[in-house]
Amino acid sequence: QEESSSDDDDGPAPLGTIAAVKASKRKRAPQMQNKAIPGEIEEGGREEWMMVPGEHDFLKGIQAKSTRGRTFKNERQRGQAVDTSIKTAEPINPKVLEEVSAIQQAYQESRGPTLLDAHRQTLQETKLQQAKNKDWTWSRDSNLDDGRRIDKNALHMVLGGASTELKSKFQGSLGR
């Protein structure tokens, strides 16, 4: 007991050292001897199967499995024949098909046209209106400059004396 008290004075041994392993063995030995029934659980303690690691050889587990890569081919494996038969579904009762198609049709009619159909319809309407108004034709000479010609008198009227004010304000070097 003197050893344990001197160990307590020095503090716990660093993990992984021989002294730490010996101390943990010393602390566990009385606990293991005091067990009356092997399966009995102490208060706050754990059962033995939780404390003792299991024995498993990882190398045997790896060698037992195939080291071949996975493939997505339809090949025979371990002597079994490949099932090439195609399973077909049973034919559906015509009465059921009629009911389903009637339900689908009623649903489509209740929803109305899709946005794409509505857009196509408006495009057709505009084309029909343009076809009715065929009397207007575009000519290069008359329609190219429509709305783009500037009357200098109207321009001076709109701008007023802005050009002279801008020249005095910013003093253009070429305008003097």
User: Could you report the per-residue pLDDT of 76-99, keeping only the tens digit for each?
Assistant: 666 666 666 667 778 889 999 999
- Percent of the chain at pLDDT > 70 equals 69
Question: In this predicted model, what pLDDT tens digit does every residue of 26-70 receive, in sequence order?
Answer: 888 877 776 655 555 555 678 888 888 877 777 776 766 666 666
d(CA 104, CA 102): 5
Answer yes or no: pTM beyond 0.85. no
pLDDT for 85 equals 67
Mean pLDDT of 131-158: 75
pLDDT, average across residues 154-158: 77
Q: What's the confidence (pLDDT) of residue 65?
A: 62
Q: Is 79 left (phi over 0), alpha (psi -120 to 50) or beta?
A: left
Q: 7-14: which pairs have CB atoms within 8 A and are 24 or more residues apart?
A: none
